[in-house]
Amino acid sequence: MDICVLATDSFWKATRKVRGRKILKTDFIPMKKILATFSAVVLFAGLLTAQQSKGSLDTQTINQLRESFAKSPENTALMNAVSHNDIKNLAVSRENDGKVNHLFTNQVEVKGITNQKKSGRCWLYTGLNTLRPLVREKYALNEFEFSQTYNFFWDQLEKANLFLEACKATANKPLEDREVEWLFRNPIGDGGQWTTFSGVVNKYGLVPAAAMPDTYQSENTATMSRLLRRKLREMGLEIRTVALSRMSEEAKLEKKTSMLAEIYRILVLSLGEPPQQFTWQYKDRDGKLSEPATFTPRQFYDEIIGIDLNDYVMLMDDPTRKYYQVYEVKFDRNLVEGANWKYLNLPVDKIKEFAKTSILAGEAMYFSCDVGKQLNIKNGTLDVNNYNYDELFGVGFGMNKKDRIRTFDSGSTHGMALVGVNILPDGSTDKWQLENSWGADKGDKGFLTMTDAWFDEYMFRLVVNKNTWMQKP
């Protein structure tokens, strides 16, 4: 009698040979062989089910859980409050209100709060905001702002090129390979960190905001980013095939260039085309108007800024790794020829010393942190005592920084410029000032104040000038 069998891949592997010959899925398999294999599968499934049942929620356990929540007027009132209101608002600590002010003994002078709108470009705003005070001081300007859109354009094009090159380099690996899978999951994004900032500025220079203003798409990046990811994934599949083909290297390069031309078109239509040169004129604090001057973006950076971004060092407090060692993150860059994300891992107290020294020297710094933790945006403070979730729920939340990182509960989510510190009479610090890029209507007129305790728990990266870093704090 003929028998029709529906088999899994593992079943076919187990029964792929009968009487010394390879069988096909169209072949019929003897009933005895089928029953033996099926019995083994059923036995394995039974053992797995028995193991799972040991940890299942049975009636006795559920009853114990019910009894653990004592019915009382207090618990009933809490349930009514929590179930009908915003948890964060309920957890705000009244005792902590007003304890943190926005006064600082030392500040880098900042004018003009920026706004990244609905985009992930905080890293770019942060990097440019650390350079703005240099221009304002050098030319005695009331306000000055760089074009974020200009550098964002080149960042996106460079990231697209990096993705295609990475797809070529891994073309001999299967799509299921972890590295290849990561590439296709993350072909491009609008986020970044210091090395993506320094890489694109070193290569393409800078321009004033007026030379390439923001567009709707630069301020609202979600749709453009989604389309770029979709197109790059399509191109990634194609370039893997091209890489393994017998095409000449010249033909392969032409193919990649044609792909990048499509990415360039999307970027130009969304962000505008970057200027190759522009004219800059300014009025200083005394009302004196400068003579107009023409620059290329690279000339503008060299002449107006005149500092070497390679002189900056990224410091990080990661208690899951050994301190006083340098670490590197592969593919965390935007240029093929650029440097990966590298950082020196240091204890937080040492990083604070360098931060204080830099502010005293009048230098703003690139700073990144887990901004969403204990942020009270209404009063513009970052403090570990802003919210009492433990007391609200009667449940302790006890992980330290190391455990939060290890379990993916905490990580760097936002970049800001560190511009102020409050130094107490004994030389210690109790709070710090951050220049944010969420607009002047957020926080304390666009700034955030973080306490020393919050710095310890949620600061991740700080970038300082190595010349300042080498000084004895």
Residues 90, 93, 94, 98, Cα dihedral to 10°: -130
What does the buried/exposed string (b/e) look like for 354-371 if buried means 16 or more CB atoms within 10 Å of the residue's CB? bbbbbbeeebbbbbbbbb
| Known active-site residue 414 | yes
Angle (deg, nearest 10), helices 122-139 and 194-204: 50
Q: Which of 129, 422, 436, 465 is catalytic?
A: 436
Q: Which two tokens stand for residue 245?
A: 């083909």
| Known active-site residue 436 | yes
β-bridge mates for residue 316, sequence order = 345, 461
Q: Which two tokens stand for residue 292?
A: 């107009």
Residues 398, 436, 146, 110, Cα dihedral to 10°: -130
Which residues does 37 contact at the CB level (< 8 Å), separation at least 6?
A: 11, 14, 15
CA distance 352 to 340: 25
Beta-carbon count within 10 A of 200 CB: 28
β-bridge mates for residue 450, sequence order = 382, 432
Strand (E) or helix (H) holding 377: none
Q: Which of 122, 167, 376, 379 is catalytic?
A: 122
Q: Which of 369, 414, 422, 465 is catalytic?
A: 414
| Known active-site residue 167 | no
Q: Which two tokens stand for residue 205?
A: 């220079």
CA distance 125 to 120: 10
Query: Taking a C-beta distance cutoff of 8 angstroms, is the pair 190, 221 a contact?
Result: yes
Which residues does 119 contact at the CB level (< 8 Å), separation at least 6?
A: 190, 218, 219, 220, 221
CA distance 31 to 5: 10
Active site residues per annotation: 122, 414, 436
